[in-house]
Amino acid sequence: MNYTPPALDYAALAPMIVIFAAAIISVLVEAFTPRGVRRYLQLLIVFGALIASGVLIVLNAGTRTVTAGQAVVIDGPALVLQGAIVILAILGAALMAERSIDSVGDAFASRVSSLPGSEEEKQFTQRGYLQTEIWPLTLFAVLGMMLFVSANDLLLMFVALEVMSLPLYLMTGMARRRRLLSQEAALKYFLLGAFSSAFFLYGAALVYGYSGSITFPEIAQTITSKPGESLVLMIGLGMILIGLLFKVGAVPFHQWVPDVYQGAPTPVTGFMAATVKIAAFGALLRLLYVAFGGVRWDWEPIIWIVAILTMLIGSIVAVVQTDIKRMLAYSSVAQAGFILIGVAAASPAGIASTMFYLIAYGFTTIGAFAIIAMIRDANGEATNLASWAGIGRKSPIVASAFAIFMLGLAGIPLTSGFVGKFAVFAAAIEAGMVWLVIVGVVASLIAAFFYVRVIVVMFFAQPTEQTASVAIPSAFTTVALAAGVAVTVILGVVPQPVLDLVTNADVFIR
Amino acid sequence: MSAFPWLTTLGVLPLLGSIVVALLPKSKPTLAKQVALAVSFIVLGGTVAMALQFDGSSTAPFQFVESYPWIPAFGISYSVGLDGIGLVLVALAATLVPIVILAGWRDIEGDQESEGSVKGYFALILALEALMIGVFSATDVFLFYVFFEVMLVPVYFMIGRYGGPQRSYAAIKFLLYSLLGGLFMLASLIGLYVVSARELGTGTFDFLSLVGLDMDPNTQKMLFLGFFFAFAIKAPLWPFHTWLPDAAAQSKPGTSVLLIGVLDKVGTFGMIRYCLPIFPAASEFYAPVVIGMALIGIFYGAYVALTASDMKRLFAYSSMSHFGFIALGIFVFTSAGQSGSVVYMVAHGLSTAALFLTAGFLMSRRRESALISDYGGVNKVAPVLAGFFLVAALSSLALPGLVSFVGEFLVLLGAFERFLWVGAVATLGIVITAAYVLRLYQKSMTGPVNPSVEGITDLKGREITALVPIAALTITLGFYPAPLLNVINPAVDWTMSTISAVDPDPVLSSEGGQQ
């Protein structure tokens, strides 16, 4: 039997190929170039590749194709989400490239392999070594995410999941300060992530056993042609869902979120919070809508329950957090719940609103973490809410930017967060899910409490000795921050162009 | 309908003015004030020109209508238009802003406490004017909500940066209260959208479409609460009033005038414009509760005012009592009561302005003390000031011949028509009002000259210029309220007919007329 390689549509795959090539070059740079020039080469490669990939995605606008032997789909949702991932990755990379706000260098351990607190570590720090391994990892993670949202079969989806996740596990453990916390977070993330991957894989195997195929359209066909319930299919779908809901941080698979968000270097947290959510929700949407659209009535209740739990538990637990990173972590859990409302709608409007929400959320979150990285005291970042007291008086501009992000996350009108929430609520209403929306509104009210509380602490509390100071960032963070503020406000005031964009791109290739 | 975009122009002008003033160099505070005053006069001129074109006999619910899609995906549009109620409130805002600017000419420089710059204060006033015009003219409920919330920002800074020693506390209290109300209103707003989406197929925020909805009473009861809560905090009704005395006591007189005189009217305006027509069944259902709150507010406010030792707090509690009357007039569902409420809103705006400004002028001569006991015998050293204070005080107690009498009389008339005992109880409130107003005048203005006010100067040209128009309007509209009532009545009739309320048999109204 002759092996015929699958035909590849290089034009459609070009955005991913660019990132893949750049990632490999980036590894080689790490191995073969002298320490002094590495940073410049890496920055050139990373930003060059991301921008080039972004341009290629724009050029691909309107493409609808299935390629690589049914494994990869490039359609409207894939392009929109890939575009969002790439742009947010540029902002995330800008945060990682920042070297002005920490007096010692950047946010990453000089040498990750050195034991925390050891003589070796001290030596590296004293010599001022700064590592650049973060860059190839970032590129691989981005590649995984882009593939994740365009994967059209279970196997490729799994591969993409791993390509995305493995670098992120490593990046989580790279924090320069509070290294034990960071490494603990990385290990936790890795173990739980590996566990959830195993669920995904086992689920995929069961679904293959049921349908005899791993590609989504064929699974869908089998489901429609075989009437009646199938236990194998249900268990398989449930396990796959566990894998994906773990990645989006939905309750009850959210336990890793606060630890990882808190332990990871803040620029990585921002990058991860924004992009992983997009990638995972993109994959979830495609999987549920394309492959399992036929058993909608079976998975909708699951998504309902998970959405309600996620919104409520995320919001309620966030209220009692005193660490700002943990608070944002629970907030991200709550936000995942709101996005799940859009997923549950199971309609084109659901796809469009989910995508809008993801974009809005990504920019706001990355901006918020950019600021968290800037608020510092002698020990590094000051993430305790108490040390944010009165920051608004010391640095009104930075505090105002953070206030805008908080209002955006709370979903106050004139911010992107409101439009996003409204869009998913409207989609759910259209699908007849009034109760889900009522729970969503209640959860929003609870959530507004802790977002507004941060604003109150920043502006209305008197500064104390504990109050942290705001480091002056370089152009990298400034640009990312400005982009975050701009998008949060613009998508809130004139959202129609982006709403049109996502509405025009709300059809999957089935 | 008019082709000229009156409302947008009137809203954009002060906004641009605000930006210009904010961009002026800090070293030229006088120029900033002159620009601000000029802009506010242009806006006033524009408002007058617009009001002259208002057609009192038109049957269209709104005039000067403009509508452009804003977020068509959610049925949100930039839609503005005025009915008679909106028109008189826009006119009130446009009249008070130049007066406040003029009256507050020197308020900021002399104050060592203020954190902000002179130009900042005047820029904020103009920004607030733009938002006030927007909030009264929005005919898209979402647009209204946006104005309603954004308005908090300039007011927050006006209290929080330019005020007394406790200003920051007062500003936060104001902000948090208002934000809380706003959140509930937002939740109701989304609920309204949901209902409209189910009934009309596509969701909308257009006011008239929402009025046309056939909502079931239980939904109405839920959604009404969100709106009413926000409005009751804004207006403020008992028991949501506690932010008001603090805000009033810590603010500059000009801030208080705009806050209590105009901004708080958004609350009562919202009740008559939004709560009643959109949720008629719920309004009827909750009317006894609201009337109860209003009555308690009338007496509680008046009682606290009677014992207040601080002039600004006294005015705040007196306003709370007056807001009780306004809410009462709205929720008795009679044309007389509702027309009276709207006249009362205007009258209260004018009398509040006169009281706060005159008191402000007095306090600026006496190291900003607001304690009534620090004054006495002012009418001997500063007779003109005392004279204006008397007019303001009498307007506050609704002396016949002043515009507040028209409002109060109509409100009580309306109350008597519907529920005899409510009217009877509310009328007693007038007695306490007279008591605290006259007590204030007697203690501060008459009697032996308090040593601390000896040698204070009387009002000067600028200050008199600011007060004369208020006094003139108070008296003119008091004797001849027809221009006011002619524009208000059609709007009230429209509201009454949308909620299908009918005035009761006019047997009792003659009784009311005699009292």
Nearest to B145 among A413, A422, A423 (CB): A413
Sign for the pseudo-dihedral over CA of B270, B271, B272, B274: positive
Tell me the pLDDT tens digit for each residue of A325-376: 999 999 999 999 999 999 998 888 889 999 999 999 999 999 999 999 988 8
Is residue A445 within 8 angstroms of chain B, CB to CB? yes
Question: A273 at the B interface (CB within 8 A)?
Answer: no
Between CA A312 and CA A439 the distance in angstroms is 8
Q: pLDDT value at position B45?
A: 93
Contact B150 A429 (CB under 8 A): no
**Average pLDDT estimate for A149-156:** 92
- Smallest Cβ–Cβ distance between A426 and the set B69, B187, B203 belongs to B203
Residue A11 banded pLDDT, cuts 50, 70, 90: confident
pLDDT score recorded for residue B110? 63
Q: Percent of chain B at pLDDT above 70? A: 96
Q: Which of B183, B188, B195, B223 to mutate to test the interface with A (most CBs of A within 10 A)?
A: B183
Whether the pTM exceeds 0.90: the reply is: no
Residue B385: its pLDDT value, please?
86
Q: Which long-range contacts (CB under 8 A, 24 or more apart) does B362-368 make?
A: B362/B389, B362/B444, B363/B253, B363/B311, B364/B106, B364/B107, B364/B110, B365/B453, B365/B456, B365/B457, B366/B452, B366/B453, B366/B456, B368/B164
**pLDDT for position B261:** 86
Q: Please indicate whether, in this complex, the C-beta atoms of A422 and B150 are within 8 angstroms of each other.
A: no
Q: Which of A86, A138, A143 is nearest to A108 (CA)?
A: A138
CB contact under 8 A, B74 and A413: no
Q: Tell me what pLDDT residue B114 has.
A: 61
**pLDDT for B293:** 92
User: A429: which chain B residues are within 8 Å (Cβ-Cβ)?
Assistant: 193-194, 197-198, 203
Supply the DSSP symbol for A290. I
Residue A419, SS3 per DSSP: helix
Q: How confident is the model at residue A1 (pLDDT cuts 50, 70, 90)?
A: low
Chain B residues with CB-CB distance to A under 8 A? 69-74, 142, 145-146, 149-150, 168, 172, 176, 179, 183-184, 186-187, 190-191, 193-194, 197-198, 203
pLDDT number for residue A151 = 92
Whole-number Å distance between alpha carbons of B175 and B159: 10
State pLDDT tens for residues B480-504.
Answer: 988 888 888 888 888 888 887 777 7
Average pLDDT, chain A: 89
The whole-number pLDDT of residue B508 equals 46
Lowest mean pLDDT among B222-226, B366-370, B507-511: B507-511
Q: What is the mean pLDDT of residues B24-51?
A: 88
pLDDT exceeds 90 at position A163:
yes
Report whether A123 contacts A508 (CB < 8 A).
no
Mean pLDDT over the full length of chain B: 86
Q: Could you tell me the pLDDT band of residue B1, with boundaries at 50, 70 and 90?
A: very low
Question: Is it the case that residue B8 has pLDDT exceeding 50?
Answer: yes
Judge whether residue B507 has pLDDT over 70: no
What single-letter amino acid sits at A152? N
User: Is the ipTM value over 0.85, yes or no?
Assistant: no
**Cβ-proximal residues to A394 (8 Å cutoff; 6+ apart), any chain:** A463, A467, A469, A470
Give the pLDDT confidence score for residue A198 in this predicted structure: 94
pLDDT at B13 over 60: yes
The model's pLDDT over A264-316, given as tens digits with 9 standing for 90+, comes to 999 999 999 999 999 999 999 999 999 888 888 888 889 999 999 999 999 99
Q: How far is the C-alpha of B413 from the C-alpha of B405, rounded, in Å?
A: 12
Contacts of A341 in chain B (CB under 8 A): none
Q: Mean pLDDT over residues A89-108, rounded?
A: 86
* Residue B2 clears pLDDT 70, i.e. is over it: no
- Which of B409, B388, B393, B397 has its CA nearest to residue B481? B409
Q: Does A425 touch chain B (CB under 8 A)?
A: yes
Tell me whether residues B183 and A499 touch, CB distance under 8 A. Answer: no
Shortest CA distance to A469 belongs to which of A371, A391, A358? A391
Residue B515 has pLDDT above 70, yes or no: no
**With a CB-CB cutoff of 8 Å, which residues 349-408 of chain A face chain B?**
none
| Chain centroid, CA B436 distance in Å | 22
DSSP state of A64: -
State mean pLDDT over A99-124: 80
pLDDT at A318 over 50: yes
Q: In this complex, which of B70, B172, B198 lies closest to A460 when CB atoms are compared?
A: B172
Residue A480 pLDDT level (bands cut at 50, 70, 90):
very high
Distance from CA of B104 to the nearest CA of A (A): 26
Residue B505: which pLDDT band, with cuts at 50, 70 and 90?
low
pLDDT given for residue B245 in this prediction: 86
The terminus-to-terminus CA distance of chain B in angstroms comes to: 42
Rounded mean pLDDT, B278-286: 90
Strand intervals (E) in A106-247: none
Considering only CA atoms, give the Rg of chain B: 22
Quote the DSSP letter at residue A7. Answer: P
Measured between CB atoms, does A155 come within 8 Å of chain B?
A: no
Q: Cβ-count burial of A283 within 10 angstroms (0-12 exposed, 13-18 middle, 19+ buried)? A: buried
Residue B512 has pLDDT above 70, yes or no: no
Distance of CA B341 to the CA centre of its chain: 11
- pLDDT band at B513; cut points 50, 70, 90: very low
Question: What share of chain A has pLDDT > 90, as a percent?
Answer: 52
What would the two tokens of residue B419 be? 């529920």
DSSP B353-391: HHHHHHHHHHHHTTTT--BGGG---HHHH-HHHHHHHHH
Nearest Cα residue to B170 out of A310, B461, B162: B162
Q: What is the pLDDT of residue B113?
A: 60
The predicted-structure confidence for B386-428, as pLDDT tens digits, reads as follows 888 898 888 888 888 888 899 999 999 989 888 888 888 888 8
Q: What percent of chain A has pLDDT over 70?
A: 100
Of B464, B446, B460, the closest CA to residue B380 belongs to: B446
Chain A contacts of B150, Cβ < 8 Å? 414
**Would you tell me how many other CB atoms lie within 10 Å of the CB of residue B454?**
10
Element (H, E) at A67: strand A65-67
Considering CB atoms only, which of A434, A445, A460 is closest to B183? A445
Over the stretch A176-185, which tens digit does the pLDDT of each residue have? 888 888 999 9
Choose among A426, A441, A456: nearest Cβ to B74: A426
- A147: pLDDT confidence band, cut at 50, 70 and 90? very high
Q: How confident is the model at residue A482 (pLDDT cuts 50, 70, 90)?
A: very high
Interchain contact A439–B (C-beta under 8 A): no
